[in-house]
Amino acid sequence: MDNKTLAELLVEVRAKRPLIHHITNYVTVNDCANATICIGASPVMAHARDEVAEMVSMAGALVLNIGTLDDAQVDSMLIAGAKANGLGLPIILDPVGAGATRLRTATAYRLINDLDIAVVKGNAAEIAVLAGAEGNIKGVESYGISRDPLEVAKALAKKMGLVVAISGATDIVTDGRRALLIDNGHPLMGKVSGTGCMAASIIGSFCAVSRDYVTASAAGFAAFGLAGEKAASHCRGPASFKAALMDEIYGLTPESLIKEARVREA
């Protein structure tokens, strides 16, 4: 992977400032909005059924997150998703907690089956559940899977015809054929609520400016992980890390991505 490509995508995000429409969970909505702003895109958090189709018409990408789902939210996701599909806009789905309850799992499958999803971004257990493999999940936290996560990701990508992005110590992005591994990141990113949701927002920002959703997702993971590394170098713990993370996302430069992104072919 040529890191110049990643840097060029960051430049394009900041030049175009695409609107990223979120229908997301109330635990991390503010964090996702701020991460989107700091990477250089523009967030909107609209979920009312009567406006989501109109709002997504102005957007460059749609991010769906089922972390605090209810029936009304799912209806809004389907309405917005259908409009996004009609406009050819990428949809990024974060199936938070898939496998924890029947409702979450069924909702994730429904969204994947009813909509043309560009990227499914989840942790290893969530992706394993959707791929029909064994995933150990409690609440919304992943406690590992019984198979190689790269093979699970490839299987789901091939089956569903989309890009799969798994967050972890080493992030994985694949469309079932091509696969990229991203080694940027820091353990403190797992000590703050919402980093997975923020990652989906940043991936959505990159997908809004590139049809190569494998590269765009890898760029999002690399940018976010690199910001996490930099934030961890000058914080005291999770609280100060979270503030520093936003600063580092904002301060990320194309030059730093070229020099410090660690993206490799699998």
Residues placed in the known binding site for substrate: 45, 194
Cα-Cα-Cα-Cα dihedral sign, residues 28, 29, 32, 37: negative
List the beta strands (DSSP E) in 112-203.
119-123, 135-138, 141-145, 163-167, 171-174, 179-182
Please state, in angstroms and rounded to a whole number, the distance separating the CA atoms of residues 58 and 175: 27
Please state, in angstroms and rounded to a whole number, the distance separating the CA atoms of residues 110 and 155: 18
Q: Are 115 and 85 in contact (CB under 8 A)?
A: yes
Q: Which residues are annotated as a binding site?
A: 45, 121, 167, 194
CA of residue 37 relative to chain centroid, distance: 15
Q: Which residues are annotated as a binding site for ATP?
A: 121, 167
Burial (Cβ within 10 Å: 0-12, 13-18, ≥19) of residue 197: buried
192's torsion region: left (phi>0), alpha (psi -120 to 50) or beta?
Answer: beta
- Other C-beta atoms closer than 10 Å to the C-beta of 240 total 13
